[in-house]
Every structure is written in C-alpha cells, then in structure tokens.
Amino acid sequence: MSLPDLTPTPADARPHVVIVGAGFGGLACAQALGGRAIRVTIVDRRNYHLFVPLLYQVATAALSPADIAEPVRKVLRRHDNIDVVMAEVTGIDVAARRVVVDDVGYIPYDRLVLATGSRYNYFGHDAWAELAPGLKTVADARRIRASILLGFEQAEICKDPEAQAALTTSVIVGAGPTGVEIAGAIAELARWTLRRNFRNVDPATASVVLLEAGPRILPAFPESLAAYAHERLVKAGVTVRTNVVVEGIDPDGVFVAGERIRARTIVWAAGTSASPAAAWLGTEADRLGRIRVERDLSVSGLEGVFAIGDTAATPDRDGAALPALAQVAKQQGRHLGLGLAAQLERGAALPAFHFRNRGNTAVIGRNAAIFDFGSRQLRGWLAWILWALIHVYLLVAFEKRVVVSVQWFWRWLTHQRGARLISSDDESRAE
C-alpha cells in the first residue's frame, strides 16, 4: 500500500522547501522564505513556537505557558506561500526525497531543512528521565512546577520534620545557564513568593541544591562571571556543590558522593544530545548525535539536505562546533532561508555561514545577571535589565512582549507570581 502525499498545497512549478521543526532556526528559515516564488511547508509535532529560554519561568510559576508560546500558523499567517503541518516526522526517504510523517503519509521536497532541536542527555541512564525531567517542553515545565508546589502543600500537613524537609528540597543536576537560572528562581519562589502563604511550614527554610560535575558552575562563561554567579546563588540560599557526579536517582532523591540527598523535586540540566535526525538520514553524527554539516549548512553527500541549530554540528572559523544556543539557530535559519531563496530564484551559490556572537547571558535571580560579550563582561543590575530587554524583544508577538513586561514588573514590585495553579493533569505527572 502506497502512502499518500500530505502536502496541503497542490504541487506546481515552484520549488518546494520542507522545514522540519518550528523552533528558532526553523521559524527563522521559514520567515526568510516568506513571500517568495517558492512553496514552503514547515512540519512540527506541536502547533506552537515555544520560547525555550524562558521555560524555566513557567516551571517556577513566574509565567504561564501561553506567555511564551505562539501558534506557528499565527506567526506565519501573512505568508501565502507557507503551509504548516502539525505532524511527527518518523523518517526520511532520501532517495525519493520524501519526509515520512506519522507513518501514514509523506511530504516530498526539493530542499530539506532539518531544525529538530535537541533533548536532554542522561548519559546512558535514560530511566532517570522519569524521575528527573529536563526542561524542553511545556509539559516538562508544568510537571516541575507541580512538583515544587505539591511539595509545599504536602509539607504543610506533614508532622515528621525530616520528611517535611525532603518535601521542600529541590535538586538541580547541572550548573550551566539553565541549571543556574532554575536554581535561583526556585530559591526566589520559596523565600519571597511563598513565605507568608503557609502556617505549618516555613518556605524560607526550603533547600535548593545545585550539583555540578565540573570544578565550577557556568563553565562556558569567564571565571570571574561564574564566581559572581556562585556568590549570588549562595546569598540567595542555594547550596552549590561542584566536582560531584550523580551516582543514582530514585523516587526519594539523588545519590551523590556516597550519600543520598532526599528531595521532592529533581530537575535535570546536565547536557543535551541531538534529535534522531542523523539516524533518519543514515549519515555521520558527532558524539552528541548532531549531523555534521559544511560551512554552507549542507549535509555532505546528500544533495538538497541541510541541518541547522542544535541538530547540526556546524564548524566555526576555527573548525570547532558552534554552541547550542538560540542565537546560533536563529542566525542560521535566516542565513539559510535567504541563501535558498537566492539559489532557487537566481541560481546563486550558497554562502558560508558566519556566526556573529551577540553575547552569552544567564540570570541568577532578582536584580542579578551576567553577560559575556567576549572582550567585555557585564554583571549585576545592568546585566539583569539588559537580559530582560533582550528576552522581551525576542518574543515573537507584540502582545507577548507587553504581557511578559507587565508581569515581570509586577513580580519585581510585589514578589508575587500568578501562575501557581496545580491542575489534576500536572498533579498526576508530578506524583
């Protein structure tokens, strides 16, 4: 039985570009191709674009999922040449130039762009994922939020001091930017937002433990900025432990350095690996599962196939792979979209991609952030303001920028967080 063609728009003389993934890279590529004499189909298993850098704020009740997500169809609605397909890619037939979706149909392509992102890497301990979720999806964030809040609710009626302490303990594994940001946010939630909401438990005594296998936190940042972040986290009440490796995780906590840390909430932020896109293509991948690409973002040996963002191991000017950052994916998406438009419309050669570093940043907590611009560094209040301005600007919809700005200002003024509801679905996931 042959599979049907699921492309929404009938085929015509225009070349067809299929983009898999509506994250930063895929969306930027589609927008660059908008309005061209080119058919574009963007495929994603979800119908929304998620602003992942602020997902930790959903996990810590500062924002709601709708504040940082926007329907893909709405983002691309003004481009008549772009179709959106909500489906899961299950394979690629390179010989026939077809993307197989949901095992029930296919979408043919003339050019294929893979922007499928990454997932958390548990380094051979995949069973830990159920007990220590990462932070890649709305479901992950809601599950973590429910676990944190349920811990305090259960501690309120608990009579055993040791069990009460465990219920209000959160352990974050991995001290990169995501780990640092969520550790600081949980500490702020407990010590400021919840401190007067309970009668029999004091949220200010809640324990937040940040674990890092390396010698210091934030290894991608200069040591001086990492030291500042470490100091601010400790001041906020976070216990930072470096040079420790997680030896085991069970429903009651984490085993590390020969001891158990009893904890209600465990968050995994210790590294990522690419999506299975390399396996779909049957092509070479690096140790993180990323597809090796040329400087023009093409996949070697596969005509018309490209990979960007966390899916790709893209060499920089020195040959080292570029970091898995949103700004890298966004720049690659726009670069490739414009390059494909010029190639398909005028026969132009695809130019090499050059990453322009706009700075690396992490927020530690209230009034504290760090920025690394390479030759210059910024920390403290000004870095925090700059972090907020940039993240608001990068949200894809104007109304989201207004809503998030108002909520951040209100939270800064009052220490209150409005997204503290626990639904029945969240509660069942967090048990």
Q: Which residues are part of the catalytic machinery?
A: 181
- DSSP H helices in 95-222: 138-156, 161-167, 177-188
Ramachandran angles phi, psi of 263, nearest 5°: -150, 140
SS3 assignment, position 305: strand
Place of tokens 């994603």: 44
Spatial distance between the Cα atoms of 201 and 152, rounded to a whole number of angstroms: 8
- 8 Å CB contact between 377 and 218: no
Q: What secondary structure letter does DSSP report for 313?
A: E
The number of CA neighbours under 13 Å toward the Cβ of 364 is 27
Nearest Cα residue to 116 out of 286, 289, 351: 289
**Residues whose CB falls within 8 Å of the CB of residue 360, separated by 6 or more in sequence, listed in order:** 177, 220, 221, 325, 371, 372
Nearest CA among 24, 73, 85, 30 for reference residue 51? 24
Contact 76, 31 (CB under 8 A): yes
As beta bridge partners, residue 86 has: 44
Burial code (b: 16+ CB inside 10 Å, e: under 16) for 4-18 equals eebbeeeeeebbbbb
Q: Identify the sign of the CA torsion 177, 294, 331, 108.
A: negative
3-state secondary structure of 167: helix
